[in-house]
């Protein structure tokens, strides 16, 4: 949107209505109960959930740029992060087992203060882009975080990108050890196992 208020109002007034999808996630909340929420942008799990909690607890939130705070907290949390083992099932496909740092179920392209985690995602295409960041050298991955801001990570050896309408993510082995924290549009209210479902044409927006 334009930075000028009058130009922004004019843009919104003239914009045509567009149908966009939403997502629904069912997960386990911090009290151990089954819970569900809706999201319009991205829900994810792993490093992103831990980063959300760190950012939301940081006293500098709102005082420094979101991009800088998310970048710094992502690096710090990644240093501490222990890779987790999960099983990912997309639609009726064969399950994918992965030792992962992050799984993003994306309706939109951006999260984490400007990271283009899902460069090919579209809000109205009726499907999620599922981005899996697998375990690899932490130093190498930290150095490669810059690739996320320009969406240049598609061919990275630690990245797998899938597409689908329903995603189920379950912890493998020890549930406590591998019960990765979820991130839902910037909040982390619980952990996996989680089921993500697309809701086509759920909202009408002008943008």
Pairwise CA distance, residues 108 & 145, whole Å: 19
Residue 165 Cα distances to 45, 92, 106, 126, 181, angstroms: 17, 10, 11, 7, 21
Rounded Cα–Cα distance for residues 52 and 183 (Å)? 7
Greatest extent of the chain over all pairs of C-alpha atoms, in Å: 56
Task: Give SS3 for 83.
Answer: coil
CATH code of 22-202, in short, is 2.60.200.40
**Residue spans of alpha helices (H) in 122-193:** 138-144, 146-149, 175-178
d(CA 190, CA 36): 10
183-196 pLDDT per residue, tens: 999 999 999 999 99
Residue 94 has pLDDT above 80, yes or no: yes
pLDDT over 90 percentage in the chain: 88
Read off the pLDDT band of 5 (50, 70, 90).
very high
pLDDT band at 3 (very low <50, low <70, confident <90, very high): confident
Checking DSSP bridges between strand 128-134 and strand 17-29, what pairing results, if any?
Answer: unpaired
**What is the DSSP-derived secondary structure letter of residue 25?**
E
Tokens of 92: 């009726």
Torsion angle, CA of 66/67/68/69, rounded to 10 degrees? 40
* Distance from the first to the final alpha carbon of the chain: 8
Q: Which residues lie across from 171 on neighbouring strands?
A: 86
Would the pLDDT of 207 be above 90? no
Measure the CA–CA gap between 151 and 118, rounded to whole angstroms: 7
**CB proximity list for 57: less than 8 A, separation 6 or greater:** none
Share of the chain above pLDDT 70, in %: 100
Q: What is the mean pLDDT of residues 38-57?
A: 96
Residue 81 is predicted with a pLDDT of 95
Residue 144 DSSP SS3: helix
- Spans of all domains in the chain: 22-202
**What's the rounded Cα separation, in Å, for the pair 176 and 81?**
15
- pLDDT at position 30 over 80: yes
pLDDT mean across residues, the chain: 95
Q: Output DSSP code: residue 67.
A: H
């Amino acid at each position: 949107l334009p930075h000028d208020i009058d130009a922004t109002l004019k843009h919104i007034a003239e914009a045509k209505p567009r149908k966009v999808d939403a997502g629904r996630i069912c997960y386990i909340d911090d009290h151990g109960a089954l819970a569900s929420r809706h999201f319009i942008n991205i829900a994810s799990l792993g490093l992103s959930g831990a980063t959300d909690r760190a950012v939301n607890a940081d006293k500098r939130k709102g005082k420094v740029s979101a991009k800088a705070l998310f970048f710094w907290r992502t690096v710090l949390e990644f240093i501490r992060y222990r890779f987790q083992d999960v099983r990912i099932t997309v639609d009726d496909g064969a399950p994918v087992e992965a030792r992962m740092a992050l799984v993003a179920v994306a309706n939109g392209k951006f999260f984490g203060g400007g990271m283009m985690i899902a460069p090919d995602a579209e809000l109205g295409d009726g499907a999620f882009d599922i981005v899996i960041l697998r375990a690899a050298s932490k130093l190498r991955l930290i150095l490669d975080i810059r690739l996320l801001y320009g969406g240049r990570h598609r061919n990275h050896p630690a990245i797998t990108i899938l597409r689908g309408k329903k995603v189920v993510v379950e912890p493998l082995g020890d549930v406590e050890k591998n019960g990765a924290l979820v991130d839902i549009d910037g909040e982390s209210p619980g952990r996996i196992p989680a089921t993500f479902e697309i809701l086509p044409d759920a909202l009408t927006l002008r943008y």
